[in-house]
Amino acid sequence: MRLDRFLANSGVGTRKEVKEILKKRKIKVNGSIIIDGSIHIDENGDVVESNEKRILYKPFVYIMMNKPDGVISATEDKEHKTVTKLLEDKYRTYSLFPVGRLDIDTEGLLILTNDGILAHNLLSPVKHVEKKYYVELKKPVSSLEIEKLENGIELENGTITKSAKVEVVKNGDTVHGDFTREKFPNKVYITITEGKYHQVKRMFKAINNKVLYLKRVKMGKLELDKTLKIGEYRELTEKEIEILKKQ
Ligand code: URA
């Protein structure tokens, strides 16, 4: 692999910044200063150092974010702030993108990565990866409506949703570690395995209800870290990455 690519993929800087760093004679490969980024190195065997500190090859980054309201799940947008803009500068060189979309007003669990294979597997409709949402509604839901939502409901365009799971949250019950939402009267968790456009909102619209607040709390077996405040993020642990890969 080219040295400049190795450095950029390891979070040292953008390709342009890497060029500068090399020019300043700050990079050593196996003890020798190298200024030519085009040389090929063995990313797993050669010892690459920047300012005397060894750089370990880390091509993929996996981030869990508690997405805030008002931010778009995309890498670029002309009008709104995007989730990737919330990340610190050190992640700029990784070309991270969000795995799937949450609506601009939906909060909660969003994975950002540059691992295209993992993203593809999580989003593939054949994998039926479960997505669990916490939902606050305008009106209460009856048992009959829950049955309809769970068995598959017809959306406004005629599509029938796959089976889902609905759990009613009692008033006063803790809501995924968020005490501010305890008092809200009409709340449920819904778990779906599809990812249709505005799916949860449309499912509740189909039973003449309205979603007032939506937050994703789980994707597959990976749960949103309850200690992450809205807008905060952290890298996944090795164990969590394994969990995601096994979906
Ligand atoms: N369903 C929705 O309606 N919106 C989301 O953001 C996610 C699921």
Q: What is the pLDDT of residues 101-154, one digit of tens each?
A: 999 999 999 999 999 999 999 999 899 999 999 999 999 999 999 999 999 999
The whole-angstrom separation of Cα 89 and Cα 79 is 21
Write the DSSP string, 141-157: --HHHHHHHHH--B-TT
pLDDT at 8: 87
Residue in 46, 69, 77, 103 annotated catalytic = 103
171: confidence class by pLDDT, cuts 50, 70, 90 = confident
* Backbone phi, psi, residue 223, to 5°: -100, 145
Ligand 1 atom nearest to CA at 103: 6
Distance (Å) from CA 212 to ligand 1 centroid: 12
Question: How do 48-50 and 53-54 pair as beta strands?
Answer: antiparallel
Domain count, the chain: 3
Does residue 103 have an active-site annotation? yes
Amino acid 175: pLDDT: 81
Q: Are 188 and 141 in contact (CB under 8 A)?
A: yes
Domain of 157 in residue numbering reads as 131-219
Q: Looking at the structure, do residues 113 and 234 belong to the same domain, yes or no?
A: yes
CB distance 106 to ligand 1 below 6 Å: yes
DSSP tag of 82: B
- Can you give the length of the chain in residues? 247
Instruction: Give the single-character DSSP code of 93.
Output: G
Residues 210 and 233 in one domain: no
Q: Could you report the per-residue pLDDT of 52-92, keeping only the tens digit for each? A: 899 988 889 999 999 999 999 999 999 999 999 999 988 88
Cβ of 196 closer than 6 Å to ligand 1, yes or no, is no
Q: Is the CB of 96 under 6 A from ligand 1?
A: no
198 pocket-lining for ligand 1 (C-beta < 6 Å): yes
- The span from the CA of 93 to the CA of 97, in Å, is 12
Q: Is 19 helix (H, G, I), strand (E, B) or coil?
A: helix
Residues 152 and 181 reside in one and the same domain: yes
CATH number at residue 88: 3.30.70.580
CATH code at position 182: 3.30.70.1560
Please give the residue that has the higher pLDDT: either 179 or 59: 59
Q: Are residues 139 and 212 in the same domain?
A: yes
Residues 85 and 200 in one domain: no
144 Cα–ligand 1 center, Å: 23
Q: Are residues 82 and 143 in the same domain?
A: no
214 CB near ligand 1 (under 6 Å)? yes
Here the CATH number for the domain that contains residue 30 is: 3.10.290.10
Residue linked to tokens 């200024």: 35
Distance CA 3, CA 5 (A): 5
Q: How far is the CA of 214 from the centre of ligand 1 (A)?
A: 7
- Look up tokens 């305008």; give the residue: 138
Give Rg (Cα) of the chain: 22
pLDDT at residue 172 tops 80: no
